[in-house]
């Protein structure tokens, strides 16, 4: 029996780009022994400003790719893809354990003292029926200001919070939140935790920022514990031979490598894939 047959099951994770790395970081804390395969769909991003059919198509393709690599659990580390595509993914793979990411409207409404909450997310997430339903179910007693942060995820891929486009967009979106005097702001896109300090600085000390990366990682860890030990496919065996975490991109690998290195301290190469 080869040593690989003893390897723990693989978790597949994807996002439109680098944002899902904020979820990967939380997953590493909650599932320290799990091999992780991350796909950044940089070649087909941003999702937040594309039509829903595109996001569903990409999500289903990436899911099939991750399954072919041996993934036993998939984390949709993207609010936009969760809102648009998780139902289609569940429909196509009814037995697959799946975890999605949704804006933390419920914890924000519970935490807000002024009952004034802001939600920063993509246009697509904010327009989705899933988001409307979250607000109706969990924030009925709150004033909720949705701020569609067009261009912000793409700008974060280009540079840090000091990058002029990022800084200009943050001034604009945080200005709207300040004007509305919210005391709690949901980071409803997995890219935004990478500029959380800059957002906090603009909003001031009276405003709490919330993101759901750790809650998602906890849910994934619960499902992960319930998994058996499927035999790894030859392809996943090859990929997992030397690394606990593998990064792939459908676009420029340099962006993924740079952000993993600069923001998370992971110095590793990413593989370019075409799916």
Nearer to ligand DGL, 80 or 246 (CB): 80
Site for ligand DGL in 59-88 (CB under 6 A): 78-80
> Which residue from 228, 221, 47, 25 is spatially nearest to 127, judged by alpha carbons?
47
Cβ neighbours of residue 266 under 8 Å, at least 6 residues apart? 245, 260
Nearer to ligand DGL, 115 or 163 (CB): 163
Q: Is 19 in the site for ligand DGL (CB under 6 A)?
A: yes
Please give the size of the binding site for ligand DGL, defined by CB under 6 A: 17
Q: Is 78 a catalytic residue?
A: yes
**Helix, coil or strand: residue 117:** strand
Contact with ligand DGL (CB under 6 A): which of 15, 102, 211, 257? 15
CB of 119 to ligand DGL, least distance (A): 12
> Which residue from 27, 23, 54, 52 is spatially nearest to 40, judged by alpha carbons?
23
Cβ neighbours of residue 39 under 8 Å, at least 6 residues apart? 12, 13, 14, 15, 62, 65, 66, 248, 249, 250, 273
Cβ neighbours of residue 169 under 8 Å, at least 6 residues apart? 149, 151, 152, 155
Q: What is the token pair recorded at 67?
A: 């399954």
Nearer to ligand DGL, 30 or 130 (CB): 130
Cβ neighbours of residue 129 under 8 Å, at least 6 residues apart? none
Q: Is 257 in the site for ligand DGL (CB under 6 A)?
A: no
Contact with ligand DGL (CB under 6 A): which of 59, 122, 208, 236? 122
* Cα–Cα distance list, 50 to 64, 174, 207 (Å): 21, 24, 31
Q: Interface mask (CB under 6 A) for ligand DGL, residues 150-169, using x and -?
A: ---x----------------
CB of 58 to ligand DGL, least distance (A): 10
Going by the DSSP 8-state scheme, the letter that residue 122 receives in this structure is: -
Q: Is 42 a catalytic residue?
A: no
Q: What is the token pair recorded at 257?
A: 């490598």
CB of 16 to ligand DGL, least distance (A): 3
Q: Interface mask (CB under 6 A) for ligand DGL, residues 185-224, using x and -?
A: ----xxx---------------------------------
Instruction: Give me the residues that bind ligand DGL (CB under 6 A), please.
Output: 15-17, 19, 45-48, 78-80, 122, 125, 153, 189-191
- Please identify every residue annotated as catalytic: 78, 189
């Amino acid at each position: 029996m080869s040593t690989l047959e003893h390897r723990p099951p693989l978790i597949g994770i994807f996002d439109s780009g680098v944002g899902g790395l904020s979820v990967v970081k939380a997953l590493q804390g909650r599932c320290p022994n799990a091999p992780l395969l991350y796909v950044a769909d940089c070649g087909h991003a941003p999702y937040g400003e594309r039509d829903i059919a595109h996001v569903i198509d990409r999500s289903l393709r990436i899911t099939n790719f991750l399954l072919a690599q041996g993934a036993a659990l998939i984390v949709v580390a993207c609010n936009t893809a969760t809102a648009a595509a998780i139902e289609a993914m569940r429909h196509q793979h009814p037995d697959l354990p799946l975890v999605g990411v949704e804006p933390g409207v419920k914890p924000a409404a519970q935490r807000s003292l002024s009952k004034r909450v802001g939600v920063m997310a993509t246009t697509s997430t904010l327009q989705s029926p899933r988001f409307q339903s979250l607000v109706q179910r969990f924030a009925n007693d709150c004033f909720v200001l949705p701020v569609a942060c067009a261009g912000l995820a793409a700008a974060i891929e280009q540079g840090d919070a000091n990058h002029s486009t990022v800084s200009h967009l943050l001034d604009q979106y945080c200005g709207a939140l300040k004007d509305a005097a919210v005391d709690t702001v949901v980071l409803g896109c997995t890219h935004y935790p990478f500029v959380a300090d800059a957002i906090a600085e603009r909003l001031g000390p009276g405003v709490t920022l919330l993101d759901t990366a750790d809650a998602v990682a906890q849910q994934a860890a619960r499902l992960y514990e319930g998994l058996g030990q499927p035999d790894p496919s030859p392809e996943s065996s090859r990929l997992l031979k030397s690394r606990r975490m593998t990064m792939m991109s459908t676009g420029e690998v340099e962006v993924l490598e740079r952000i993993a290195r600069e923001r998370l301290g992971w110095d590793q190469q990413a593989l370019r894939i075409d799916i």
